[in-house]
Amino acid sequence: MEDFEKYRRMKKLSLLVLGLAFACNSSQKTVSEAPKPVVDPVPYAETITQDDLKQHLYTYASDEFEGRETGTPGQKKAVEYIRAHYQSLNVPAAQSNGDYFQKVPLEVSKVPEGSLSINGTSFEVGEDVLTFAQAKGNYNTVVYAGYGIEDGDYSDYSGIDVKGKFVLIKAGEPVDDSGNYLITGNMEKSVWSNASEAIGKKRDIAKEKGAIGVLYYDMLSFPRFQGYFQFMKNNDSGRMQLAADSSDEILIYLNDEAAKALKSDIEEDNVPKSISADIKMDITSGNEQVGSENVVAFIEGTEKPDEYVIISSHLDHIGITGNGDINNGADDDGSGTVALLEIAQAFKKAAGEGNGPKRSLVFLHVTGEEKGLLGSRYYTDVEPVFPLENTVADLNIDMIGRIDPNYGGARNYLYLIGSDKLSTELHKLSEEVNKKYSNIEFDYTYNDENDPNRFYYRSDHYNFAKNNIPIIFYFNGTHADYHRPSDTPDKINYDLLENRTRLIFHTAWEIANRPGKLVVDKAAD
């Protein structure tokens, strides 16, 4: 009996020890699976200071950089400055080859010389016809495609074949007998009535259909095109474009006389048809190659390294005017450039303390914004460093250091453009972040689709937006020094620049660290 009691006590003790062991293991598991404490981003945001921004900008927008004209020695100094900053931070290059510079081959289309003959009548380049492409050859057929629009159920290309032919297109869009625009179905114009956007869209459609070139008639805009052409001719300048765009594609603007030599009733008749004509082209041009570069650095994400949040700004400006004045571009876009440098430094400090972003951060300084968003288009359309399908958002900074004299509210404001265009979540997140950390007055005036300035389409974010990547464009508006030699660092409101830059940092922080990707619930067609 005594032995039995001894056995029973030992068994009870063993079970107790075993239970404690299980309890300890359970406790350890709970501790290991406990969520990490939420990191406060404020100490990192506070490393973004007026003094640092000012120090950067007084160098970056100095005369030494000669206005940072694309492809010039001044622009080369700018990209070296940016690269040196990332190297000093030990923020690596984004490209797999370790090069911070993404080469962007550009080409300057010098104004051509020559003539175009239609049915024996000669039309001179620069006077009657305008183009920036070389065009040589004889042709006996032109296909008239009306407005040259293909949108939804409407197509000017139904029943016609333009492959291997020149297409004659006119500006504008169709209207029914009641004055309603056929594309919108009401009295509101569509994008096809916007000259600057419609020309490219119509040209691209013709190209997709196999046309070798476009003859474009826009009676109202031709004088403006001609003025631009003459300016470039008189200043021995030309239109800069991506070298990747150079092809056999030809776009020739026709004045009223030249267009009606091909089709006398072009203004009244909208019906596509083939036109027999004797056309001789003898237009020559001498293009110049220009080398430029984007600067791309990144911080790899800790949990979702294959998802990318891009923060962008353009690095160059408009250089030196004909009289020798330097356009320093302190606000445009020196302010965006130095803001991006400081944001990168703040994220690097966080990463160094074990609080790096869950998603990868890409710091993208693009070239050629002033020339037609060329650097950002090269990144999105030609050579993305990271897959666009894995790109979560683009926060684009273009002029955030000044006050718009036309702004009627308090000075602590910022124009926001595009936050709600593609993602409801991004817009909501942006508002919440601002309320929590910055309390800046957001002004959405330029976010209106009907705003005549069309700023949504005029900075580098647009090349991401057109690929259904959610964007925010941060902008202080224009001022008297916009694109003038007087856009200098001493006129920057550094307290505002600090607060605006911190806001963008906080917004990027939230996007990079939120559980899920931003939902694109308003994808464009």
Tokens coding 162: 């333009």
Q: What are phi and psi of 99, to 5 degrees?
A: -90, 125
In 300-331, DSSP assigns E strands to 304-314
First to last CA, the chain: 88
Among 135, 115, 117, which Cα is nearest to 127's?
A: 115
Do the beta carbons of residue 206 and residue 148 sit within 8 Å? yes
- Domain 42-106+289-513 homologous superfamily, CATH: Zn peptidases (3.40.630.10)
Show the 3-state SS of 428-490. Answer: HHHHHHHHHHHCCEEECHHHCCCCCCCHHHCCCHHHHHCCCCCEEEEECCCCCCCCCCCCCHH
State the pairing for strand pair 250-254/213-217. Answer: parallel
User: What pLDDT does residue 233 have?
Assistant: 84
Among 500, 496, 204, 501, which Cα is nearest to 346's?
A: 501
Segment holding 284, helix H or strand E: strand 273-284
Do the beta carbons of residue 395 and residue 507 sit within 8 Å? yes
State the pairing for strand pair 441-443/359-366. Answer: unpaired
Same-fold call for 42-106+289-513 versus 112-284: no
Do the beta carbons of residue 143 and residue 165 sit within 8 Å? yes
Q: CA dist 67 to 54, 61, 74, 78, 145, Å?
A: 17, 7, 7, 9, 44
Among 397, 393, 418, which Cα is nearest to 340's?
A: 397
- What are the extents of the domains in the chain? 42-106+289-513, 112-284
CATH architecture of 112-284: 3-Layer(bba) Sandwich (3.50)
Beta partners for 481?
Answer: none
What predicted TM-score, i.e. pTM, was given to this entire model? Answer: 0.74
Dihedral sign for Cα atoms in the order 59, 60, 61, 64: positive
What secondary structure does DSSP assign to 62-124, as a single string?
SGGGGGGBTTSHHHHHHHHHHHHHHHHHTPPBSSTTS-SEEEEEEEEEEPPEEEEEETTEEEE
User: Could you state, in chain order, the average pLDDT of each consecutive group of 10 residues for the chain (525 residues)?
Assistant: 44 41 40 70 98 98 98 98 98 98 92 94 96 90 97 95 96 94 94 88 95 95 90 79 74 96 96 96 88 98 98 97 95 98 98 98 98 97 98 98 92 98 98 98 95 93 97 97 97 98 98 97 81
